Structure 1
């Protein structure tokens, strides 16, 4: 008998190879797409009605591509080092264990208030954690959600409903996660802070209502749970399992650490509002100082603080390098004089519809790329340099274009099969991927519709 070899499953290539492929693709395009240029005014703004094709092609070869890599990295240096400093601040916060302590204490204090208040408060806390400190390190919060679901005798998917789900809502719509795409787009970081804070709260409320309706439905009949076929009657099985006690007192150092972390954003926003100085320089300084102060306040030794700052910087190192490669991608298109041609070709069909609908189209394109490129910073580095000239030519404000990117990145990422944050959370909660997709897809559709309405209004208002 002949052995049948198992079929190899398709696997998304590593982000490095996706980026290398994009660079080579850009080189190929310089040989295919006709070279052209827009006329520009004295301020360097595109004159949409003055585009001309060049007499000859100006292709970029592979050697030229390699020589542009350093220029691309240098062009994004400010963004790269700011992102690294942010990584240091977030890593020190997570390594202190302060968030774990605060959540454990909250669960203990709120456990006698009933299901609805307890779920609501935990959902709000996790949304704000995601909005201000969102990263794949928040997978560590899922076991807390599992404990939470067991105590309340709820379906295992509720563990994700109060950890992964709200933290990703915060991460996708929060005001601080806009900083990286804003920097790449040339928009002042944290501008529009309060509008985005309002937007985050709108989606937080919609998500919370969705979760509470599900909890009410499965409490009425456990068979209504999307996990019933997997775990059976969770009200029986969970009730028999021992549950570890959480802390009964709030660690003052942990609370101080969380407050210090949040305060840095207050100072950054206030500094940005003054319009004085370089906001990116201030952000980098604020992140580094906050990391050190949080480490001291939490009782870390000097070596521990140094190691955790280094860990945070190194964790962002590869993403920072990808941001630099994306800068080279843009330089290839510009050196080959095809960036303006691409913009011209894209604006012809888009110009026939309103700016609001065109911006919604951009949101949808970004949302599809979540299934290939999960990293928000990497997508921003790759897409925004191409998106911005198009939106500029259509008269769409840079702020509204950044919001289209954020909405596109923020929702379908919940079901991305290549995002470690999602897959790691599912594994920790022992929830099959297909069950998670069935549970969360309806609310993603609702989110996208609401986002489209908000985006249309913001674009119409030229925000």
Structure 2
């Protein structure tokens, strides 16, 4: 093959390991460049945002010192890391039981004789709730179900993603259980804002459904309006094979085993929400989370018919998939240690917040949401992003006298919606491949909706901040 015939290599994001190492070295460099300074604090250790002073000397942190801080960073992040690992492993065991698959098959079977809009609505709501409470990138597996579902209704492949990954990502991005790591790192009660986030998820679910149904109505009226028409889609040529029909009809019964697994899986969140409301000690909430995760994993595994070895194998697989995420959380803590030891983190916060000090906290919370929305395009992982950004965002929020629950909500909205258009998220790009939708076509369809979601989130952030909302 000649040189001219060789395909050009496109830009590829470096592995997150190298991104983190680069950020750590950059943090060391900043301690040599940025003037050291600090805010005054009151007797309770709270930052006084209007009292800042430069130290008059540098306190640089050399790269080798940064490496020596890695073990401390990993140790200081131990509670968060192990909470992430056990929760993720529990979810992996539940997914491996097949209870989620059986629930979807049963729902589709029960809905098969309903009218089109009712079918789409119930399917969409089910997927949003699945994403909101059990969402992981493993839910890319529901895309083939969406493909068969929409093929039966003679809708285009964009609708297939619409009733699957679009819905699950919407629930995943706004669900009430999805920001517990951010809450832990911010130092606010875990699930303390459960009801607000639950209402928010349902609001965006209804909006997302409306936008999807509007598109369905448009291509029903004129199939040439479909973005996939130019790709060869034509409802007149769509047929469901006998094998696909059988797949849609296999869930004739929802087993007691699946019901028990789902009750246990969802019930743990009810316990965690109720625990502080019933007077439980908030300092032990992480201990309760870990205990429940391990208990639910074991019991659900046995209910699912797993042997002792199978339960262990699936739990280990879940741990293995998240070990690196835990390591990233520890490295992010190292970055915070470097900036703190170099006495530059307060200077950075002072420089970033000074232009905002004359603005209302509501405008600042909107700006925080917007910044995280952009960062999310490059770093879709919520856990990794929280590990990197919270050490900076938390002191900014404290300096602006912003309630930290508001900062968490800003993080959730920023973290949630741009997942749908991120070219670096395997969930999104993989969904396009599985549904046969070119990514540019998907981007064109979903981008206006993402903008609408973000703009509405700005309004919600303004109202929450101005009303003095804390968490409920």
Give your verdict on TM over 0.5. yes
Instruction: Select which of 237, 253, 256 maps to 2:257.
Output: 253
User: How much does 1:462 deviate?
Assistant: 2.6
Separation in 1 of the partners of 2:3 and 2:311?
Answer: 55
Quick one: distance in 2 between partners of 1:73 and 1:229?
A: 52
Q: CA deviation at 1:371?
A: 2.2
Q: Does 1:289 align with 2:290?
A: no
Residue 400 of structure 1 corresponds to which residue in structure 2?
A: 406
Distance 1:461 1:392 in 2: 18
Instruction: Tell me, yes or no, if the aligned pair for 1:88 and 1:313 is still in contact at 8 Å.
Output: yes
**Counterparts of residues 45-444 of structure 1 (less than 5 Å):** 45-233=46-234, 235-239=235-239, 241-242=241-242, 243-245=244-246, 246-247=249-250, 248-277=252-281, 278-444=284-450
Return the offset for 1:240: 5.8
2:3 corresponds in structure 1 to 3
Any conservation in 2 of the 1:400–1:462 contact (CA below 8 Å)? no
Structure 2 CA distance, aligned partners of 1:399 and 1:320?
23
Q: Give deviations 1:409-460, integer Å, cap 9, x for gaps.
A: 1011111111111112111111110111011011111101110000111111
Kept after mapping to 2: 8 A contact 1:190/1:272: no
Q: CA RMSD in A?
A: 1.3
Residue 298 of structure 1, CA deviation: 1.3
Q: Residues 396 and 462 of structure 1 are in contact (CA less than 8 Å); yes or no, is this contact kept in structure 2?
A: no
Q: TM-score under structure 2 normalisation? A: 0.96
What is the TM-score with the length of structure 1 in the denominator?
0.98
- Shift of residue 43, structure 1, vs aligned partner: 1.1
Is the 8 Å Cα contact of residues 82 and 283 (structure 1) preserved in structure 2? Answer: yes
Please name the residue that 2:461 is paired with: 455
> 5+ unaligned residues in a row in structure 2: which ranges?
none
Does the Cα contact within 8 Å between 1:30 and 1:333 map onto a contact in 2? yes
Q: Distance in 2 between matches of 1:291 and 1:163?
A: 26
After TM superposition, the structure 1 stretch with the greater mean CA deviation from structure 2, 107-116 or 272-281, is: 272-281
Distance (whole Å) between structure 2 residues aligned to residue 434 and residue 187 of structure 1: 40
| SS at 2:53 equivalent | strand
Question: Which whole-Å CA distance do the structure 2 matches of 1:3 and 1:172 have between them?
Answer: 44
Instruction: Tell whether the 8 Å contact from 1:359 to 1:459 is kept in structure 2 after alignment.
Output: yes
Q: Would you say the 8 A contact 1:170–1:204 is kept in 2?
A: yes
CA distance in 2, matches of 1:15, 1:209: 37
Once the 2 structures are TM-superposed, how far is the Cα of residue 316 of structure 1 from its aligned partner?
Answer: 1.1
* Partners of 1:46 and 1:192 in 2: CA distance: 24
| Pairwise CA distance, 1:2 | 6.8
SS at match of 1:371: helix
* Equivalent pair of 1:130/1:169 in contact (CA under 8 Å): yes
State the secondary structure of the residue aligned to 2:39: strand
Q: 2 CA distance for matches of 1:110 and 1:231?
A: 29
Q: Distance in 2 between matches of 1:101 and 1:128?
A: 15
